[in-house]
Amino acid sequence: MNTFRGRLASIVDKVDERLGDGLEAALCAHHARRLRRLGWDAALAPGSAGGLFGDRAPVREGNDVAVLIDGQEALTAIQAAIQGARSHVHIANWHATPDFRLVREDGAPTLRELLAETAERVPVRLLLWAGPPVPVFQPTRRLVKQAHARFTEGSAVRCAMDARERTMHCHHEKIVIVDDEVAFVGGVDFTALEGDRHDSSDHPPDRPIGWHDLMVRVEGPAVADVAKHFHSRWTEVTGEDVPPPRVAEPAGRSTVATLRTIPDGTYDFAPRGEFTILDSYLRALRSARRLIYLENQFFWSPEIAEVLIDKLCDPPSDDFRIVLLLPRKPSNGADTTRGQLGRLFAADHTVGNRRLLAATISTHDGQDSCPVYVHAKLGIVDDEWMTVGSANLNEHSLFNDTEVNLATDDRELIRETRLRLWAEHLQRSVSEVDGDPTAVVDDCWRPIATEQAERERRGQPRTHRLTLLPGLSRRVARLQGPLRGLLVDG
């Protein structure tokens, strides 16, 4: 009986694999036809002109950039910027809860109070996704309408709800612009829906779930490009005649590209859409020689997976490594992510190497522990290209939701950011992870993650934050991802 079940499972796996391959090929072909029709086919073409940023994204020199790691650091900085506003405050977010507090201190204002107080001095504009037409997931339109009423009642805050999303998609970006002098771009929402955004790099286990996220704070000319994006959406949705953004003076050394996903047919200001996030990701990943480091909530995209598979099958150097940090249980699409990871592990195994590491994090304090949800959206390649923003590595973010990312080639900033993140996840000092990246992956990342996974397997308590991503095999539910993409993609 066991032999029969084993053969049956093997047959099912092979059928699943073949059908998954076919569906993914159909999805990639569909994306290629769509981008070709829209004049964006160069985004999928290896070797096209434009460098790592592409030639259709605005690129500005002379910016000061700081990467804010986890909610406590990011939200504190955002509140301070809003409170210091002299001209205006513009916010676009997936959702914002009026009672949400950016700072957890005695007497700290709620978001509604913070914006209302600021609006007594300067214009405050808040642009929210209106929610899905059918209440199948959060935030529902009823919830957004209630939030809208709370933000605007008895205050001068101008709040608009944007319902121009594609079917089954959303407005997912998280941006704040203050005085056209400073902008925040990243993954942090102003809500506790689906998880508590307040967390620090210590990730204390005194909560139901931890939350790892990132924002970028930028000052300088690149702020104008983030502000222009908000201005374009706001004026089209509301019809309000808002003064165009001004370009700030140079403030630092960093070159910054503002990357977006705008689905075609959504806005008059971009009727053929924009896909510079996809374009820059593919350019950077193809260029990788030694290291690809990705933190993301989802890993569904077959276009991204294909590039990584090619790198694993034909590594550019002996010391080439890929490190993926993903949530243990993503809010949806878990089987889809596992299926794509199964393809990567199969490619890595086929060539007999161990170049790929897929890990996740949790937090521990003696007998107390809780998962840490990886909500960050970060890509680093060879310490020469980095992007942080709102875009996940799935069809939603790369083709169909509105998203904003920033990218830079500031090597000093990129390396500093990677070391800070690795020190956090590996629970080491920056100096301890400040070595050859390949050696740190092989001698630190992999042994720690493997040991902790083995402790879990034996039923022993974990002793470290990092562990291997569990539940991986070479063939896992390949059908769900491609099928989902074909059904919801336009």
Kindly state whether residues 89 and 166 are assigned to the same domain.
Answer: yes
Round to whole Å and give the CA distance between 149 and 133: 19
Give per-residue pLDDT as tens, 211-253: 999 999 999 999 999 999 999 999 999 999 999 999 999 999 9
Listed range (67-71, 254-258, 321-325, 336-340) with the worst mean pLDDT: 336-340
Strands 466-468 and 356-365: antiparallel
Residue pair 438/448 in contact by the 8 Å Cβ criterion: no
Is residue 272 in some structural domain?
yes
Beta-carbon contacts of residue 430 (< 8 Å; ≥ 6 apart): 419, 420, 423
Is residue 7 in some structural domain?
no
Is residue 181 in some structural domain?
yes
Kindly state whether residues 209 and 295 are assigned to the same domain.
Answer: no
- Both tokens of 376, joined, read 């960050």
Residue pair 273/401 in contact by the 8 Å Cβ criterion: no
Residue pair 61/249 in contact by the 8 Å Cβ criterion: no
Kindly state whether residues 349 and 202 are assigned to the same domain.
Answer: no
Q: What is the pLDDT of residue 207?
A: 79
Give per-residue pLDDT as tens, 167-177: 888 999 999 99
Amino acid of residue 231: H
Determine the longest span between alpha carbons in the chain, in angstroms. Answer: 76
* CA neighbor of 321 nearest in space, from 443, 467, 473, 175: 443
Using the CB atoms, write b or e for 105-137: b if 16+ within 10 Å. eeeebebbebbbebbeeebbbbbbbbbbeeeee
Is residue 6 in some structural domain?
no
Round to whole Å and give the CA distance between 197 and 68: 13
* CA neighbor of 381 nearest in space, from 239, 471, 250, 286: 286
Residue pair 300/334 in contact by the 8 Å Cβ criterion: no
Please compute the mean of the pLDDT values over residues 175-185 and round it to a whole number. 98
Kindly state whether residues 196 and 167 are assigned to the same domain.
Answer: yes
Q: Pick from 224, 257, 290: which residue ends a domain?
A: 257
Distance of alpha carbon 286 from the chain centroid = 19
DSSP state of 154: T
Q: What is the pTM for the complete model shown?
A: 0.95
Element of type H or E holding 175: strand 175-178
Kindly state whether residues 355 and 324 are assigned to the same domain.
Answer: yes
Kindly state whether residues 97 and 195 are assigned to the same domain.
Answer: yes
Q: What is the pLDDT of residue 474?
A: 47
* CA neighbor of 194 nearest in space, from 292, 327, 82, 286: 327
Round to whole Å and give the CA distance between 88 and 152: 16
In 10 A of CB 382, how many CB atoms?
18
Q: Pick from 257, 285, 319: which residue ends a domain?
A: 257
Round to whole Å and give the CA distance between 8 and 481: 23
**Residue 442 phi, psi dihedral angles, 5° rounding:** -75, -35
- Both tokens of 359, joined, read 């890990």
Mean pLDDT of the chain: 91
Q: Which domain covers residue 242, as residue numbers? A: 59-257
Residue pair 339/309 in contact by the 8 Å Cβ criterion: no
Give per-residue pLDDT as tens, 251-301: 999 999 999 999 999 999 999 999 999 999 999 999 999 999 999 999 989
Kindly state whether residues 235 and 353 are assigned to the same domain.
Answer: no
Amino acid of residue 429: S
Q: Pick from 229, 257, 285: which residue ends a domain?
A: 257
**Residue 75: helix, strand or coil by DSSP?**
helix
Is residue 104 in some structural domain?
yes
Q: Hey, which residues does 160 pair with through a beta bridge?
A: 127
Kindly state whether residues 51 and 156 are assigned to the same domain.
Answer: no
Q: What is the pLDDT of residue 53?
A: 96
Q: For a pLDDT cut of 70, what percent of the chain falls above it?
A: 91
- The confidence band for 489, taking pLDDT boundaries of 50, 70 and 90, is low
Is residue 157 in some structural domain?
yes
Kindly state whether residues 208 and 220 are assigned to the same domain.
Answer: yes
What is the dihedral sign for C-alpha 484, 358, 302, 271? positive
Kindly state whether residues 140 and 227 are assigned to the same domain.
Answer: yes
Is residue 194 in some structural domain?
yes
Kindly state whether residues 378 and 455 are assigned to the same domain.
Answer: yes
User: Is the peptide bond prior to 221 cis by the omega test (within 30 degrees of 0)?
Assistant: no
Q: What is the pLDDT of residue 487?
A: 60
Q: What is the CATH number of the domain that holds 101?
A: 3.30.870.10
Q: What is the pLDDT of residue 240?
A: 96
**Residue 390 phi, psi dihedral angles, 5° rounding:** -105, -5
DSSP state of 164: -
Q: What is the pLDDT of residue 137?
A: 82
Is residue 154 in some structural domain?
yes
Residue pair 126/91 in contact by the 8 Å Cβ criterion: yes
Round to whole Å and give the CA distance between 125 and 139: 20
Kindly state whether residues 230 and 299 are assigned to the same domain.
Answer: no
Q: Output 365 or 390, whichever has higher pLDDT.
A: 390
Beta-carbon contacts of residue 29 (< 8 Å; ≥ 6 apart): none
Give per-residue pLDDT as tens, 387-397: 999 999 999 99
In 10 A of CB 221, how many CB atoms?
19
Round to whole Å and give the CA distance between 50 and 282: 12
| Number of domain units in the chain | 2
